[in-house]
Amino acid sequence: MERGSLVPDIMMDDMSLIVRTKRGPVVFTGCAHAGIVNILNTVVEMFGEVDGVVGGFHLFDASEERIIKTIEMLSEIEPEIILPCHCTGENAIEMMKERLEGVKPLKAGDIIEI
């Protein structure tokens, strides 16, 4: 509401934060309901690269095929930092650790430097 009247909700249901660093943009996701692939593709369109991705990837109940496709996309983008947590899911995190460099699961209380 603004001035007592209803206004359209312009806040998307899923938002991410992009921090521009000297090495490139680092993407912080909440739960990636829009899809981590979609989010990162948008960041690549905007900035030409992604240096890191931190947060939930919403893969906890994803099929192995979807997880593999996500890993392939991450491999193409080549972020230096991949810090999955929250709703990424243990299976997806283990598969990422086996197939990608720079994957370090993030936990509550961890401190990171970007």
pLDDT in tens, 6-54: 666 565 567 899 999 999 999 999 989 889 999 999 999 999 999 999 9
What's the confidence (pLDDT) of residue 15?
87
Average pLDDT, the chain: 92
**Nearest C-alpha neighbor of 82 from the set 95, 100, 68:** 100
Listed by start position, the domains of the chain span 16-99
Q: Quick one: pLDDT at residue 11? A: 52
- Kindly give the residue spans of alpha helices, DSSP state H, lying in 1-114: 36-47, 64-77, 90-99
Please report the pLDDT score of residue 88 as a whole number.
97
The share of the chain scoring above pLDDT 90, in percent, equals 80
